[in-house]
Amino acid sequence: MRRGVAIACALVLALAGCKTEVPGGHSAATPNGGPPPGGWPQPVNGQLTTQMCGLLTDADYAKYGHERLPMVSEKRVDNEPNAVDCLYTVNDELALNLQPTAEAAKLTYDAGLRNHKKQLAEDGRPTVLAENVVPGSDQSWFDYWTLGTAGSKYTEYQISVRRGSLIVGVTLSGLKGKKEQDPRVLLSGLAGLVLQRIPAVGRADTGKTQKARFSVVGPGRAKQIIYNDPTTSKTVTLKNVKLPWHVEKPLVTLGNPMVMFTLNATSGSPMAALGCSISVDGQTVVVEQPRIGAFASCIQSYTPPK
């Protein structure tokens, strides 16, 4: 229902000849789509800003035959330390996410692609997935919009691009122009423009990837150790593990306000004293001291720093 209302409103706006107004807070590009006075907006003290919504202009979209309608919102993204989202009427969207490291960005990008494939499969929707579609990027994929609806008259598309520690996402609304170019060509071109206009962003790490350490202590061997990988959300099961044992896993929050850690260990001996602990970057999240009973369990939620 909300999509139908939005599209109807967009049609009214288009018929009325409405044009996108310059959102408050960032400078207007020149009429021909060139950079605004002072150049294209860049991060400030390493932080992405809503002014960077101006990296793509109405003229950029018009070059490909697409009319971008007025802006709905421009904001910093909740639960992401360095991300902005720029949303326009009928779901045209630009999203920027700068991770502290290329490793963290790759994990975030890979998780996004996994979730996209899973969502389309669960919805029984077709796919036109294509990868490596943007020159100059480390990774990129193009497909139907993850949150789209099967059989809709207004088909949306999206692209996700990673260069180093920077992830760029562009969503294309289903309200097509009369001479609109192929959506893959259109989105690849727009994403490429963003990369060109912030040429240094993402090329060097600005921090470090958080690491979660899972540990089990006790005598001999553990019959079984089970823990959840905090980034992939997969359950990992190990058998006949020599103790003491530990493993470190990279931790990215993927926009979640908290992460749930789980670690369980069992011993084949009922008199074995097992203990466990989980820490993040050396800071203890949860610990269970060794005790007789052949079982240890560490379960705790973790709220990443802002």
Determine the length of the chain. Answer: 306
Q: 160: part of which helix (H) or strand (E)?
A: strand 157-163
Domains along the sequence of the chain with CATH: 2-197 (no CATH), 210-302 (2.60.40.2880)
Share of the chain above pLDDT 90, in %: 78
pLDDT at res. 232: 84
Picking from 176, 9, 168, 175, the residue whose alpha carbon sits closest to that of residue 85 is: 168
pLDDT tens for 37-86 read 999 999 999 999 999 999 999 999 999 999 999 999 999 998 888 999 99
pLDDT at res. 25: 44
Placement of tokens 């379960």 in the chain: 299
In this model, does residue 212 exceed pLDDT 70?
yes
Mean of the per-residue pLDDT values for the chain? 89
Q: 189: part of which helix (H) or strand (E)?
A: helix 183-197
pLDDT at res. 34: 82
pTM across the whole model: 0.86
The radius of gyration computed from the CA coordinates of the chain, to the nearest angstrom, equals 24
Picking from 181, 180, 172, the residue whose alpha carbon sits closest to that of residue 154 is: 172
